[in-house]
Structure formats: structure tokens, C-alpha cells
Amino acid sequence: MSSRVVKRAYRFRFYPTDQQRELLNRTFGCVRYVYNRALAERSRAWTQEQRRVTFAETCRMLTAWKNEPDTAWLYEVSNVALQQSLQHLQQAYVNFWAKRATYPTFKSKRTSKASATFTTSGFSFRDGQITLAKTDVPLDIVWSRPLPEGAQPSTVTVSRDAANRWHISILVEETIVVLPPATRAVGIDAGITSLVTLSTGEKVTNPRHEQRDRERLAVAQRRLARTAKGSHNRAKARLKVARVHARIADRRRDHLHKLSTRIIRENQTVVIEDLSVRNMVRNHSLARAISDAAWSQLRRQLEYKADWYGRTVIAIDRFYPSSKTCSACGVVVEKLPLSVRGWVCRCGATHDRDVNAAKAILAAGLAVSACGDGVRPSRV
């Protein structure tokens, strides 16, 4: 049985001491400052001089900033985290130049995730414990699952979310055994009433995590709206809202992981639609439901798990009329309103709208794969 070595991140909760909390909060602020100042310098150089600033130049800028009297406090935190923030900015520019992302934006203290990344020179890993630079004691990590035997972390990312929960993401190299070949292929039609409909006829019910907690979220948001800006009560109310959102996100992520893992294990080929979720959420009537379904997150999980376990994910063109195409004879009907959930083709086949779409998606994906063209459309 074959195997492959992949880089995999393991994420855990941890509970910092007062000294660690103070240092990490200061590190988050310094990382954000360095990122924003470097972005401002690179934007200014291009706007005024039409000159691209390199990563090496921003590193020299960082050294100069640390020697300035007004920003000497940059010395109080690990230089590794500051260098990594410049590396992240460089990657953001690379993605922009490759047209994979929009132009980098400034990080906000309130809306951006507080995080800092440390490479091997910024932390130690001994006896199953991680100690960050400039700290005296190891982090109190809740090891909910073990790291792979003999694994040596290459980078760790420490973060604090809006719900004031602390997490550490540990990147390691892991040998993953490729799954034995499967004989099945499946087409997936994403929806709202059913989260996904498979070409086998199975419909996976949409848990609607956000809708289930909508009343609790509304109460928390109303209480937040009634508090005075800048008050301690407002900070506590904002934390309660964030905790409701975190609960929703955690449950959604867990459900999608279980679903994507099952699909990948059972099928050799998975065919999906290349949906433009960014454009679809502009429909204000469906935006909330579409965001709650998290189709993009499901696609991302399917793709990287397929890469790990030797499966294939095929994405067909987003404009392919899967719902209007008869999976039996291939005829495309002229009109099929969204309210019509079942229809009869002129060939006599009776279709459930979603199941037929999944079957049509599977057929189109297999045809595209055989032709070797357009298997993975651009996701811009």
C-alpha cells in the first residue's frame, strides 16, 4: 500500500499564563504594526515611484524601525514573529500578482484575527511540550489528539479568536497511507434545503447551524447594541456575541469534516460544480443561507483530502445547466423555475431536480476528465 508525506497542521486549545498572555498580546500588536507599516511603504513606493519593494528591503526596514526611539518596543517580542509577518505580506503580494487574490489590505485590531507565527528558531519542542521564545514555561496545551509519532514541528501559529479562545496550530510532516482504489464515482449538487445531493440519490440534510442559534445570536446582538461604546459592559456583550458565532462555526466545521471524509473514503472520483459563492451571496434573499451552508469550505476540504488519499476531484464549469439537463437522454429544457422540484422529460424519465442535477454533474465531469480539458477551472 503506497503512502505519501504531506504537511499537516494540528490545532489545539491552550491556556496561557498571565505572563504568556501579556507577551502574546504584545506580539500580536507588533506583528500587526510591522505588517501594516510594510504594506504602507510598499504601496507608497509603487504609487509615487512605480517601484516594487522586495521582501529583503522590508527586512532591512524592520531593522531600521527597531532602532528608532519611537518603535524600540519592537525589541520586546520575538523577531521571528515579526519576520514571518513580512513573509505573509510577501505571499499576499505574490497571490495578488498571480491574480489569486485582491490587493493586500491593512490589518485591523478589531476585525483581523490576532495571530503570530514562529519558525523553529522561535520555539522549542522538548518532551512533548512547546515553549515560545521569550517565555519561561511551556504552553499549557490541551492535547486532544497526539501528534504523529516522531513528528517535529516546523512552524507553530498562536492565535486568539474573537471569543477570547487561544489556539496553537502545529505544522508537521506526516506520512499518510493512500486509500485503496475505489470503484465508485459520485456527482455532488450543492443546495440549501439539502446541503448536498449525491448522484446516488442520497440527500444530506442541511443542519442550518446559524439558523438553530439565530435566536440566541439575536438576543446577544440586541444586548450589545444597547451598551455604551467603550464601556466594560460593551466589551462583555461583544464577547458573548463572539462566543455564539464561534459555537456556530465549530459545529459547521465539524459536520463538513465528517461529510467530506466520508465522501472521499467511499469514492475514487468526486465531481462538483465550480460555484462562485462570492457572487451568489450578493442575492440578499439567500446570502444568509448560502453563507451558513459553507460550500467553499466543503470544496476546500474535499480537494486537499483527495490529494492526500489518492482521489480525484473534478470541478465542472459553473455555467453548466445541470438542473435543466436530463440525465437520461441529455436534452436541455428551456425553462425550469427554482420552485419546480421535480419534472418529467420528453423521453419519459421522471426526475427529482437535485438528484438529476447531481447525475448530470457526474456525467459532465467524467466527460471533461476523459477529454483532459477544463478539469479544474479557475476559482477567481
The answer to whether residue 380 is domain-embedded is no
End residue of a domain, out of 177, 195, 213: 177
- Please give the C-alpha separations between residue 103 and each of 32, 98, 99, 117, 229, in angstroms, as whole numbers: 17, 11, 9, 22, 32
- Judge if 77 and 18 occupy the same domain: yes
339-353 per-position pLDDT tens digit: 778 878 878 788 888
Please check whether residues 193 and 146 belong to one and the same domain.
no
The pLDDT score that the predictor gives to residue 376 is: 46
Q: What is the mean pLDDT of residues 359-375?
A: 75
Q: Give the confidence band of 336 by pLDDT, cuts at 50, 70, 90.
A: confident
Active-site choice (210, 292, 303, 354): 354
pLDDT of residue 247 exceeding 60, the answer is: yes
Question: Are 310 and 275 part of one and the same domain?
Answer: yes
Enter the pTM of the model: 0.84
- Greater confidence (347 vs 170) lies with 170
Q: What is the pLDDT of residue 337?
A: 77
Domain of 234?
185-371
Q: What number is the average pLDDT over the span 324-344? A: 80
Looking at the structure of the chain, the number of domains it has is 2
Look at residues 161, 177, 193 and tell me which one is the last residue of a structural domain.
177
Residue 316, in any domain of the structure: yes
**Does 171 lie in the same domain as 189?**
no
Q: In whole angstroms, what is the distance from residue 137 CA to residue 77 CA?
A: 16
Closest among 122, 135, 115, 117 to 20, alpha carbons compared: 135
- 379 domain-assigned: no
pLDDT category at 320 given cuts 50, 70, 90 is confident
Tell me whether residue 110 is exposed, middle or buried, using C-beta atoms within 10 angstroms of its C-beta: 0 to 12, 13 to 18, 19 or more.
exposed
On whether both 42 and 170 belong to a single domain, the answer is: yes
Q: Is 133 exposed, middle or buried (0-12, 13-18, 19+ CB in 10 A)?
A: middle
Q: Inform me whether the pLDDT recorded for 270 exceeds 90.
A: yes
- By residue count, the chain amounts to 380
- Indicate if 89 and 14 belong to the same structural domain: yes
273 is catalytic: yes
Give the confidence band of 321 by pLDDT, cuts at 50, 70, 90: confident
Q: Is residue 95 part of a domain?
A: yes
* 210, 273, 292, 303: the active-site residue: 273
Q: Indicate whether 379 pLDDT > 60.
A: no
Flag whether 377 is in a domain. no
Active site residue 202: no
Last residue of a domain, one of 133, 157, 177: 177
| 159 domain-assigned | yes
What does the pLDDT average to over 175-188?
91
What pLDDT is recorded for position 240? 95
Say if residue 195 is in the same domain as residue 66: no
Identify whether residues 260 and 284 lie together within a single domain: yes
Q: Give 92-137 pLDDT, tens digit per residue.
A: 999 999 998 999 999 998 877 899 999 999 999 998 899 999 999 9
pLDDT for res 290? 84
Task: Please tell me the predicted confidence (pLDDT) of residue 249.
Answer: 93
Task: State whether residue 306 is helix, strand or coil.
Answer: helix
pLDDT at 374 over 60: no
Catalytic residue among 174, 189, 292, 303: 189
DSSP of 326-374, one letter per residue? -TTT--B-S---TT--EEE-TTS-EEEHHHHHHHHHHHHHHHHHHHTSS
Chain segment 16-70, per-residue pLDDT in tens: 999 999 999 999 999 999 999 999 999 999 999 999 999 999 999 999 999 999 9
Name the residue with cell 511540550: 129
Model confidence at 1, pLDDT cuts 50, 70, 90, reads low
Q: Is residue 378 part of a domain?
A: no
Domain assignment present for 376: no
Same domain, 148 and 201: no
Is a pLDDT exceeding 90 seen at residue 221? yes
189 tagged catalytic: yes
pLDDT at 378: 42
What are φ and ψ of residue 186, in 5° steps?
-140, 140
Question: What's the pLDDT at 372?
Answer: 58
